[in-house]
Structure 1
C-alpha cells in the first residue's frame, strides 16, 4: 500500500540505463475503474503538452523512486484519448466531500491509498477537520463496492457508513502496519 501523496515528487528511474528521466507531478485517476491510469511528469499549459507514463509501464514504486524499464516510456497525453480527457477535465478526488445517502458529511478526502503493483485504489484517508485530526488522527475508508463518485462528492451507502463507524480503529491500524 502507498499513499498517493508519497508518489508525487518521486524521481522516475530507467532500469536499463539507471538514468533519472522525470519527476512525478501528479497522478491520473479513473473514477470509473478506481485505479491510477498514468503518472504525470509534465503538466500541460497553453504552450506545452502534458506528458505521462502509463501506469502499466511502471515496474515498481519504491520508497525513494519509481522504476520503469526504458527511458522512452514518457508519452504525450494528447496521444491517449482516455487519459487526455481525464487530465483536461481536471477531476480531482482529493478534496472531495464524502457524504452518506442520508446526507451526512463524514469528511473530506485528504489522500488516496493505492496498491502500488496494480494502481488500484484500496481506500481513502479522510479528515474531519484540523482539531478532530489532531485529537483522533485521520480516518481510513476502504474502497468497498457501493461507493459512488459524483461530480462534486463521493457518495456512500448508509450500510458502508455503519461498517466504517464500527471499524474505524481497525482501518487506521491497517494503514499504520504498512508504514
Structure 2
C-alpha cells in the first residue's frame, strides 16, 4: 500500500535496457472502478504529446522507482481514448470535499491510499480538526472532480491509521484460519509472478558497475554475469538494489 504522493516524481525504469524513461507526473483515476488506471509520464523530450503507462503494465513499484518491462509499455494518450477521457475528468481525490448521502459535509480528503499491485484505491485520509482519520473505499459511493459522496453514518467507520485498511474482516480472518496446512505449503512454494518476470529479464545479463547493498556491502562486482540465484539475491535486498541492478546491466 502506498500514498498517492509517493508515486509522484518517481523515475520510471525500463527493465529491458536498464534506463530511465521518464518520471511519474500524475495519477489518472477511474471514478467508476475506484482505481488508478494510468500514470502519466513526464520526459524532457516530450514537450507536446502526453504519454502514460497503464497500471497493468507496471512490473513493480518501490521506494526508488516504478519498474516496467520496456519502453513499449508507455503509450501516447491519442492511442488510448479511455485514458485521454479519464485525464479530462481530472479526478484527483486529494483536495476533494466529502459529503454524505444526506448532504452533510464530512471533511476534506488530504491523501489517498493505493494498492501498488493492482491500482485499487483502498481508502482516503480525511482532515478532521484537530486530527486526521482514514475512511475505507467501501464507504465511498461516488468519486467526483471536486466531491466524494460517501455512505450515511460513514463516521462510524473511521479508522485511526491507514494500516488498518489492510486488516482483514472477521469473515476473511475466519476463512484464513480454516485454510489447511497443505494449502499453505503449496502457496509458499508458488513463485511470485512479478519476481519471476524480473528473473527472466535479468538472468544472463552482465553488470557494468559494482552493485552494493544499502549498507555498502558488495553484492555483485562489475562484470558479473547474473544467474537466477543472483537476481533472487538482489530481490531479497529490496527494490532500490533491484532498480540499481536493472539500470547497470548489458547483454
TM category, shorter? 0.7 to 0.9
1:174 aligns with 164
Q: CA separation in 2, counterparts of 1:72 and 1:149?
A: 30
2:38 aligns with 38
1:163 aligns with 157
Alignment of 1:134-173 (within 5 A): 136=131, 138-144=132-138, 147-164=141-158, 168-169=159-160, 171-172=161-162
* Unmatched 5+ stretches in structure 1: none
Give 1:24 shift: 0.3
Give 1:151 shift: 4.9
Alignment of 1:97-108 (within 5 A): 97-108=97-108
Structure of larger gyration radius? 2
1:48 aligns with 48
Q: CA separation in 1, counterparts of 2:58 and 2:37?
A: 11
Q: TM-score, normalised by structure 2?
A: 0.60
1:19 aligns with 19
Q: CA separation in 2, counterparts of 1:111 and 1:12?
A: 22
Give 1:91 shift: 3.0
1:62 aligns with 62
Deviations 1:133-167 (A, max 9, x none): xxx3x211111155223453111122433222xxx
8 A Cα contact 1:100 1:161, kept in partner: no
3-state SS in 2 of match to 1:83: helix
1:115 aligns with 115
Give 1:173 shift: 5.1
Matched positions, count: 164
Q: TM-score, normalised by structure 1?
A: 0.82
